Amino acid sequence: MIIATLIAAGRLRDSDLARAVEIAGGGEARWIDEGDAADLLLGPVEEWRDLRDRLEDGLPGIDVIVQPVESREKKLLVADMDSTMIGQECIDELADFAGKKAEIAAVTERAMQGEMDFADALHARVAELNGLGVGCIERCRTERVTHNAGARTLVQTMRRRGAATLLVTGGFHDFADPLASELGFQEVRANHLESMYGHLTGKVTGAIVDAAAKAKALTDRRDQLGIAPGEVLAVGDGANDAPMIKEAGLGISYRGKPKLEAIAGARIRHNDLTALLWAQGIPKAEWAKG
């Protein structure tokens, strides 16, 4: 059996459910949270992506997630950091302290669009930070970085229900480790900025966390837990998240770039990160307080 979940927090109407049934050519609509999210229960669907696209086109402003009923509630959450769990690209904000935000942000955008090799882009951007005082990292983190709406509720709810959580980012431990503690992630994979005598050297140390490393982090943790691919939820926004998204049972593009949206199983364009809880059939009454 297939479920199509319709999500439009505070805006979903009975008429939207009726329209969804019409588009799908049948099915049984059930509220998860009235006015916020509902499920459309369907029989076997051969072209589920086509159904998703038709529902999205026919229901403007509503996020649609189509997936099998089996393993709907996930046992592992793997999430990107920049522009996914937080609203910023940390390296762009850090570059602002060096007076180089515009040029570095342009390179970040090319990398996220999949127009530039991620590792090359990372090395080029970090090199521009050579000589920046390490004290700027903490200032940047506390003054510039904000959680995306629903991030903590998502992570805490899944943790409380027994899921494992992994934050995996092409960004830096200086930002990712404190964020993981704030949100409730159990593990972190990130890059290391090199510093010497209180200043950044313009280099990263150790293996680069790129697209392949993100996907491997997911599969390694999945295998350690002994769970099936269908029991994994992954979410990201950039082209470098694509391999990770493909590995997940439910791979979600969160307000993502076109190359990621093209391959993701689901696209969250209108709602915040709590949509990922409704996607798993979890009503608000069972959410952890954010």
DSSP codes of every residue in 138-173: HHHHHHH--BPTTHHHHHHHHHHTT-EEEEEEEEEH
Q: How far apart are CA 48 and CA 246, in angstroms?
A: 16
Q: How far apart are CA 177 and CA 282, in angstroms?
A: 28
Q: How far apart are CA 223 and CA 84, in angstroms?
A: 24
Tokens 């009923």 belong to residue: 69
- Determine which helix (DSSP H) or strand (DSSP E) holds 28, and give its type and residue range: strand 28-33
Give me the catalytic one of 16, 63, 82, 174. 82
37-42, strands of its sheet edge to edge: 28-33, 37-42, 2-7, 63-68
Residue 234 pairs in a beta bridge with: 78, 251
CA distance between the termini of the chain = 32
Q: What are the two backbone dihedrals, phi and then psi, of residue 221, each rounded to the nearest 5 degrees?
A: -70, -40
Q: How far apart are CA 100 and CA 130, in angstroms?
A: 11
Annotated catalytic residue 82: yes
Q: What per-residue string of b and e applies to 257-288 under the rule 16 or more CB within 10 Å gives b?
A: bebbeeebbbbbeebbbbbbbbbbbbeeeebb
Give me the catalytic one of 80, 174, 210, 237. 80
Which candidate, 140, 131, 134, 152, places its Cα nearest to that of 198? Answer: 134
Q: Are 245 and 252 in contact (CB under 8 A)?
A: yes
Rounded to the nearest 5 degrees, what angle is found at the Cα of 263, between the Cα atoms of 261 and 267?
40
Residues taking part in catalysis: 80, 82
